[in-house]
Amino acid sequence: MDNASSSGLSGFGDLNASARGRHRCRVPVSLPVLVGLFLTAAVAGFVDAIAGGGGLITVPALFWAGLPPQLAIGTNKLQSSCGTALATWTYARAGLLRAPGLRLGVVATLAGAVAGAVVLTRVSPDLLRRIVPVLVGSVALFTWLKPGLGRERRPARVGAAVFAVVAGLLLGFYDGFFGPGTGAFWMIACVLLIGCDMPEAAGYTKAMNLTSNLAGLSVLLWHGQVSLGVGLTMAVGQLIGARAGSGLVLRRGAAVIRPVFLTVVSALTLKLVWDAYVAR
């Protein structure tokens, strides 16, 4: 997610019931609403390709369209996976996916995300809802106070393999279990721990986000919690937005990533604080 796509997870425990029947959920969506979702996905794809956090835009839109929580989350995974895949491919072609240990990170992230999704069906994420706003807010504050952060490569503080395994397992698990802020955590971890500049960190982050998104999507498809019509329509919008966003990153680099990153993380912090402490 970048991924905020796990917002509104109360009631996710009902997945066990749908798992037995693996039924397909269908919610009628009118043409004007579908057009609105398409445009929303295009904006989200643009933002997500640059700094993550597109789920901040698409998940509330899917709830507004009348999809229940599980179906909204599963549908969001489908459309966001498409945009993330395009952004990842674009960064790969530009040589931004050559960081040491990246393949190992994909394997660790996949394992962590599957484990997180499984645990999610059995444990309430309420505790994380209260802790994560503090963590994400700290990331935003740290980035704001370090204006030169990510403008150039720095010496790595940990080995690439250690980083790939530890960050992959932890952040993959977090994304599978809860999700909001995952892209922000990946970005800042890549910059601080393995010395990436912002464009390289964006490429690494997209590869890991794609991995955890596909893992979550597989689980939710198995449980029938994806609206294919809505998801594929939004996927087209995501692809358009992701193409524009990733192209802008390649042209402008850290100059465009940092302000978008700060905006997304600040908005995510406010939303998480609202969900955890106000709207209860």
What pLDDT score does 163 carry? 96
> For 28-37, 46-55, 187-196, which range has the lowest pLDDT when averaged over its residues?
46-55
The single-letter code of the amino acid at 246 is S
| Residues ≥6 apart with Cβ < 8 Å to 7 | 55, 59, 60, 179, 180, 271, 275
| Residues ≥6 apart with Cβ < 8 Å to 19 | 222, 223
What pLDDT score does 92 carry? 92
Give the mean pLDDT of 240-266: 85
Give the domain ranges of the chain. 12-278
d(CA 191, CA 195): 5
Q: Is 204 helix (H, G, I), strand (E, B) or coil?
A: helix
User: pLDDT category, 219, cuts 50, 70, 90?
Assistant: confident
pLDDT digits (tens, 9 = 90+) for 221-236: 887 888 999 999 999 9
What pLDDT score does 186 carry? 92
Alpha-carbon dihedral 238, 242, 244, 250, rounded to 10 degrees: 180
Query: Which residue do the tokens 């010395």 mark?
Result: 195
d(CA 59, CA 74): 10
Cα angle: 261, vertex 86, 92; to 5 degrees = 85
User: pLDDT category, 169, cuts 50, 70, 90?
Assistant: very high
pLDDT digits (tens, 9 = 90+) for 67-103: 887 788 789 889 989 999 998 999 999 888 888 889 9
User: pLDDT category, 8, cuts 50, 70, 90?
Assistant: very low
- Phi, psi of 116, deg, nearest 5: -65, -40
**Contact by Cβ (8 Å): 237, 246:** no
What pLDDT score does 26 carry? 62
Question: Helices 31-51 & 182-193, crossing angle to 10 degrees?
Answer: 10
Is the pLDDT at 154 greater than 80? The verdict is no
pLDDT digits (tens, 9 = 90+) for 95-146: 888 888 899 999 999 999 988 877 766 766 666 667 767 777 787 777 777 7
| Residues ≥6 apart with Cβ < 8 Å to 178 | 6, 9, 116, 120, 125, 128, 129, 132
DSSP string, 69-83: HHHHHHHHHHHHHHH
pTM of the shown model = 0.75
The whole-chain average pLDDT of the chain stands at 81
User: pLDDT category, 6, cuts 50, 70, 90?
Assistant: very low
**Contact by Cβ (8 Å): 179, 8:** no
d(CA 51, CA 187): 8
Is the pLDDT at 64 greater than 90? The verdict is no
**Contact by Cβ (8 Å): 29, 180:** no
**Contact by Cβ (8 Å): 147, 261:** no
